[in-house]
Amino acid sequence: MNPPLQHSQNPNHAGIIVCTNDRNIERLADRINQAIAYETTLINKLIRVNCPQ
């Protein structure tokens, strides 16, 4: 099995959302929604969502 490609190795994709681990799924979903709410498209974008420390 091949290792997954890095965003920088293949920037042509439907969109990637990377999240830190958050056991509170509702809070994580809300943070993802906030991160993408004003994006017109996710194509070729890398979105990072970090949970509060």
pLDDT digits over 21-34, tens only?
Answer: 889 999 999 999 99
Q: Is the pLDDT of residue 2 over 60?
A: no
Q: What is the mean pLDDT of residues 26-45?
A: 93
In the predicted structure, residue 3 carries a pLDDT above the cut 70: no
Q: Cα 2 to the chain's mean position, in Å?
A: 21
Residue 41 contacts residue 20 (beta carbons within 8 Å): no
Q: What does the domain layout of the chain look like in residue ranges?
A: 1-53
pLDDT at 16: 87
Q: What pLDDT, on a 0 to 100 scale, did the predictor assign at position 40?
A: 93
Contacts of the segment 17-26: beta carbons below 8 A, 24+ positions apart: 17/42, 17/47, 17/49, 18/46, 18/47, 18/48, 18/49, 19/48, 19/49, 19/50, 19/51, 20/49, 20/50, 20/51, 21/51, 22/51
